[in-house]
């Protein structure tokens, strides 16, 4: 992802989330050197994307989004495969993320991929009428997954 892609990414972001990232959030992430990649169709249209923050011994997934009309087609799994590959290539043993407690579909996907719920971040996300807790999830990237047959 480059700054030239942010307009297309924002069109998806604003359709996927009630409280979307802003143009500035994406530009700042790119300027700070976060990992940000797109999944595109044959014509170069953006289907999905992620932004992740590399750290010491970990990669922290900050945003993974799939265009609404492209959901349930394996694009999130493709991006998770890419994130795991980036972890391995950089020698980062752990992948972290937060997910809204109400996002049961995403929690289910992450659980199938081998992520474990390891904690809660109270009042982490803005929500209509207040705040929503996040489930903190972690994946040991260097351990073999028991569900490899599912992929």
Element (H, E) at 25: helix 23-31
Dihedral sign for Cα 119, 138, 134, 111, please.
negative
> Is 110 in the active site?
yes
Catalytic annotation, pick one of 84, 110, 125, 132: 110
Q: Of the listed 13, 34, 49, 98, which one is catalytic?
A: 98
What are the backbone angles phi and psi of residue 56, rounded to the nearest 5°?
A: -75, 115
Could you write out the DSSP letters of every residue in 91-110? T--EEEEEEETT-HHHHHHH
Catalytic (active site) residue 18: no
Pairing of strands 46-55, 58-66: antiparallel
What residues act catalytically?
Answer: 98, 110
């Amino acid at each position: 992802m480059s700054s030239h892609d942010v307009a297309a990414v924002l069109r998806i972001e604003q359709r996927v989330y009630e409280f979307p990232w802003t143009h500035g959030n994406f530009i700042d992430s790119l300027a700070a050197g976060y990992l940000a990649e797109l999944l595109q169709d044959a014509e170069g249209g953006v289907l999905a994307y992620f932004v992740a923050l590399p750290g010491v011994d970990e990669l922290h997934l900050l945003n993974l989004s799939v265009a609404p009309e492209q959901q349930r087609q394996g694009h999130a799994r493709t991006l998770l495969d890419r994130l795991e590959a980036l972890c391995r290539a950089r020698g980062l043993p752990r992948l972290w993320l937060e997910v809204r407690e109400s996002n049961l579909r995403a929690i289910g996907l992450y659980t199938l991929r081998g992520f474990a719920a390891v904690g809660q971040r109270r009042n982490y996300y803005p929500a209509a009428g207040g705040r929503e807790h996040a489930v903190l999830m972690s994946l040991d990237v260097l351990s073999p997954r028991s569900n490899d047959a599912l992929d």
